[in-house]
Amino acid sequence: MTITLMNKDIEHVKVLIIGSGPAGYTAAIYAARAGLNPVLYTGAQPGGQLTITTDVENYPGYPDGVMGPEMMEDFRKQAERFGTQVRYGLVTQVDFSKRPHRVTVDDSVQIIADTVIISTGASAKWLGLESESRLNGRGVSACAVCDGFFFRGQEVAIVGGGDTACEEASYLSNICKKVYMIVRRDELRASQIMQKRVLSNPKIEMLWNHETVQVLGDEEVNGVELKNNLTGEHKTLPVAAFFVAIGHQPNTDVFSGFIDMDESGYIQTKPGTTRTNVPGVFACGDAQDNIYRQAVTAAGTGCMAALDAERFLAEYELA
């Protein structure tokens, strides 16, 4: 339905999904099958982080693995098959102060929505190296759990000094021959228990006071050039993969001031649900998950968000 207000057309939808990826598309599939006619805006990166991922082998239903972009295309087609309107656009402003909620897309398109599902995801933080970007998906990764399997039995490197880096280094040590942990300072920022775990692991070698100069390789990673911050000395480390574990940034800035978040910007949801502090607004996927950050868990919360939205609409007789 479209209404006119102050000479501007404003579209009114039951379920507005902000962001694509496994969470957004799964929410769309469930909402569409429930007859809620969802509208989904893809955001700046249609399909999310999986579109820059090569082989995906840990998602159920793909016994031979699948390329990330192909997988997201399958998700999109399935959502559209049931009637989801998938649109390209970036939400640039929201007003959740009253219902129905008001959303602005690309600074111009006005939408009011009875329910909103946030699935904007989180972006990995990178070092900013040209070689890091060029070899992304070809030995450079920001997810050891996702991609470590491809380098089992080989020597790899991981950069970072927090809990995430320690967790991923520990994970890699179970499947890789050796793990070099590159830390730019002379100490870790991780919790004591995580520090003890990596420092006592014979398969993890700590490289203190080192920074990455560049990732080496033409078609795939074959090493990394490091600089010793104390001596200025450069050295080359032959490795098959380079993992970046310096954190993630949730894509949630546009919701600031309306939605409760933790200190890192992850949306806080009611335990066991996808409900936020704003009635009728739900959050799923990596935008509210700073622990698992997997495609399959994102899809699961996307399902939850659609079901929560459906129940909300029924409760308020808006379905």
The pLDDT, as a whole number, for residue 101 is 97
Token pair, residue 177, equals 């021959």
Q: Catalytic one among 114, 146, 166, 289?
A: 146
Residue 143 is among the residues annotated as catalytic for this protein? yes
Q: Which residues contact 161 (CB under 8 A, 6 or more apart)?
A: 183, 184, 185, 187, 188, 189, 190
Residues 240 and 253 in one domain: no
Q: Catalytic one among 114, 143, 286, 308?
A: 143
Domain boundary among 195, 223, 244: 244
Residue 75 has pLDDT above 80, yes or no: yes
Residue 166 is among the residues annotated as catalytic for this protein? no
pLDDT-above-70 percentage for the chain:
96
**DSSP for residue 265:** S
Residue 42 has pLDDT above 80, yes or no: yes
Mean pLDDT of 282-307: 95
Domain count, the chain: 2
pLDDT tens digit string along 182-232? Answer: 999 999 999 999 999 999 999 999 999 999 999 999 999 999 999 999 999
Under the phi-then-psi rule, with left for phi > 0, alpha for psi from -120 to 50, and beta for the rest, what region is 316?
A: alpha
Q: Computed from CA positions of residues 62, 66, 68, 69, in that sequence, does the dihedral angle turn out positive or negative? A: negative
Residues 17 and 103 in one domain: yes
Residues 222 and 281 in one domain: no
Residues 33 and 178 in one domain: no
CB 186 within 8 A of CB 164: no
The pLDDT, as a whole number, for residue 5 is 47
Residue 52 has pLDDT above 80, yes or no: no
Residues 235 and 271 in one domain: no
Strand partners, 40: 17, 86
Euclidean distance between CA atoms 54 and 181, whole angstroms: 24
Residue 263 has a CB neighbour count (10 Å cut-off) of: 5
Residue 19 has pLDDT above 60, yes or no: yes
Residues 183 and 115 in one domain: no
pLDDT-above-90 percentage for the chain:
84
Q: Catalytic one among 55, 114, 147, 166?
A: 147
Residues 153 and 46 in one domain: no
Euclidean distance between CA atoms 299 and 301, whole angstroms: 6
Question: Domain holding 286: CATH number?
Answer: 3.50.50.60
Domain boundary among 211, 244, 277: 244
pLDDT tens digit string along 119-165? Answer: 999 988 999 999 999 999 899 999 898 899 999 999 999 999 998 89
- In whole angstroms, how large is the CA radius of gyration of the chain? 22
Of residues 52 and 201, more confidently modeled: 201
Confidence of residue 68 (pLDDT cuts 50, 70, 90): confident
Residues of the domain holding 273: 2-123+248-315
Residues 175 and 88 in one domain: no
Residues 6 and 114 in one domain: yes
Residues 67 and 86 in one domain: yes
Residues 239 and 255 in one domain: no
CB 38 within 8 A of CB 28: yes
Domain boundary among 219, 244, 269: 244
The pLDDT, as a whole number, for residue 7 is 44
In this structure, what is the dihedral angle of CA atoms 183, 189, 191, 192, given to the nearest 10 degrees?
Answer: 70
Mean pLDDT, the chain, rounded, equals 93
The pLDDT, as a whole number, for residue 319 is 58
Backbone angles phi, psi at 151, to 5 degrees: -120, 25
pLDDT tens digit string along 78-129? Answer: 999 999 999 999 999 999 999 999 999 999 999 999 999 999 999 889 999 9
Residues 210 and 306 in one domain: no
Give this prediction's pTM: 0.81
